[in-house]
Structure 1
C-alpha cells in the first residue's frame, strides 16, 4: 500500500503531487507515530527523534522518485537509557515505520540478548548468530545490553566472533536489515570505544530519559485502565508516595518497576476480597484501596527491596 501511495505521489499522470504532510498521513506513518504517542507517556525527545527519522526517510523516497540523487540513509541505531524507559516499544514502532516507507520488507522485530548470539564452545557462535540474523532479515534486530557481546577480560570468549558477523551484515545487507543496539549509556559508550567498526555503523543515537514521578503515576493509571482496575483517591495518593520512595531505592526500573508494583497491589487486593465475608459488588472487583498500596515494605524506613 505504501509503495502505491508513494508512486502515485511522484507520477505525472496522478495530477497534483501530494505534499509531504499529505504523504506522511497517507503512507500510514502518522498512524504508527500516533499509536506510539498513545502507548508511551512522556519521552518527548525520543518521539521527536523518531519523527525526524521518519521525515528523512519520507523525503528520501520523494527525492528518489523525482530522479534526484538519493542514497538510502544508514538506519542502524543505538538506544540508551535505564530499564523500563520504552526502548523495546519504540523499536517495535520504528520497525513499522520502516515497513510503511518500504525500507524493510516485513517490518517485524526480533529482540535478542548475548545468549541468543554467542555460543559456549568453538564453532557454536557463528551458526547461532547467523540463525538470528536470518530470522531478522526484512525487519529490525534489537540487541538488548549489547555491550555484553564484548568481554575483553576473557580471552576465550566468543562474543567477538558474533560482533564480526554482525558488522559484515550491517554493512553488506543494510538494505534488508536494521540493527538497534540498546543498553545503559555509559556502558554503550565504552563498548563503542572498544569497537570502532561498530561505532562507525551506527547513524542514530537516541537517549531515553527516566520518567518523573507524575509520568510514572500516569503510566500506572494507564496500565490499570487496560486491566479494568482503578485506584481510589486515597490509593492514588498512597501510590504517588510509593513512587517517590521507590525511585530512591536500588534497581528501580521505571515502567517495569511500576508494573511489578501493580501486580503485587492486585495480589493484596485479591487477598483482601478473598478474606471478606460480605457479598462483593462490581466496584469492589475493580477498585484498589490505600491499604493494598500501603502494605508494601517500601514504606518501611529500612526497606531496600522492590516489594
Structure 2
C-alpha cells in the first residue's frame, strides 16, 4: 500500500512539474551537464545522469500517449576514496531530481553511524526513522556506511540497517538513499548483507584522480578564488602530490580534498607573505601564488 502511494506521488510530482515547468529544450539536462563539466573525471556518473534524465523525460512522453510507465528504484551505492566527488555528486543529483520533479525537495541530508545508532534497545530505530523523516523528498547520504556493521552481534548497527531497508520499501514520501565509502569496505559490507545489493540497483565507482586531473582541479580552484600562480608554484604542488601519492600515506590519499587543502594553505601563506612586505600592493601581487607559498 505504502509502495503504491509512493509511486503515485512520484508520478503526480512529475506531472505537476511538467505542467509548471515544461522542458522542451532539455534545460534541466543542460544545467546538470554544465555542473558536471566542472567535475574532473567521473565519466560513469556523467553517463548515469544522462540516462536518468532521458528515462524521466521519455516516461513523461509515454504518459502523454497513455502508455504504461514503471518507476525504478534510485537508491545507490557510491564507492571510492575520499575527495573523489561522492558528496558533490549526491548534491548534484538532489538538485536534478528536484528540478525534474522526481523528488519533491531534493535537499541533502548527510548522516553517519553516530546519527543512526543508539545506545539502548529501541533508540536506534527511533534515531534512524527521524533521519529518514528529515530526508523525505530528498537525498539521504550515509558516508562510511560499513561502520553500521562493525560492532558485532550485540551492536545496534544491524537495527539501523534493517530500519533503513524498511523505509526504502514502504516510505510514503519518497527519498533516495545513497550509501558511500571506500571501495573495498563497501564491497565487504554488501557481501556480509546478501539482501542489500539488490536494493541498490545503481552502484557507481569514483576512481582516484590522475596527477593531471588533480592539477586541473587545482587550476579550477585558483580561478574560482581569483588567484594565479607561477610555474615554480605549479611545479611545487606537482611534487607534493607525487610524494604524497607514492609515500606512506598513499593508501589514504584524499584526492581533490588534498588539493583543496594545499591551495587554501598556500593562500594563507601568500597572505602572510604579502602583509609582511608593508607596502602598497598592485593587483598582481594580491593574486599571485609563488613557490614558497606551497611549503
Q: 1:61 to 1:197 in 2, by over 3 A?
A: farther
TM-score of the aligned structures, taking structure 1 as reference length: 0.84
Aligned to 1:30: 30
SS in 2 for 1:83: coil
Structure 1: stretches of 5+ with no match in the other structure: 10-17, 296-307
C-alpha contact (below 8 Å) 2:17/2:101 kept by paired residues: no
User: Could you tell me how far 1:112 is from its partner in structure 2?
Assistant: 1.1
SS in 1 for 2:178: strand
C-alpha contact (below 8 Å) 2:17/2:100 kept by paired residues: no
Q: 1 CA distance for matches of 2:25 and 2:256?
A: 30
TM-score of the aligned structures, taking structure 2 as reference length: 0.87
Aligned length: 280
Higher helix share: 2
For 1:270-289, list aligned pairs within 5 A: 270-289=271-290
Aligned to 1:229: 227
User: Could you tell me how far 1:289 is from its partner in structure 2?
Assistant: 0.4
Deviations 1:217-273 (A, max 9, x none): 111111122222221222112222222222223121000001111122222222222
Question: Does residue 1:42 correspond to 2:41, yes or no?
Answer: yes
Q: 2 CA distance for matches of 1:239 and 1:116?
A: 37
Aligned to 2:108: 109
Q: 1:246 to 1:257 in 2, by over 3 A?
A: same
SS in 2 for 1:247: helix
User: Could you tell me how far 1:204 is from its partner in structure 2?
Assistant: 0.6
Aligned to 1:123: 122
The RMSD of aligned alpha carbons is 2.3
For 1:107-256, list aligned pairs within 5 A: 107-151=106-150, 154-173=152-171, 176-249=174-247, 250=249, 251-256=252-257
Aligned to 1:85: 84
C-alpha contact (below 8 Å) 1:167/1:197 kept by paired residues: no
Aligned to 2:65: 66
RCO higher in 1 or 2 (8 Å CA, sep ≥ 6)?
2
SS in 2 for 1:196: coil
Q: 2 CA distance for matches of 1:187 and 1:262?
A: 30
Q: 2 CA distance for matches of 1:277 and 1:142?
A: 48
Structure 2: stretches of 5+ with no match in the other structure: 1-12
C-alpha contact (below 8 Å) 2:77/2:178 kept by paired residues: yes
User: Could you tell me how far 1:48 is from its partner in structure 2?
Assistant: 1.3
Q: 2 CA distance for matches of 1:162 and 1:196?
A: 16
Q: 2 CA distance for matches of 1:69 and 1:167?
A: 27
Aligned to 1:14: none
Q: 2 CA distance for matches of 1:97 and 1:279?
A: 46
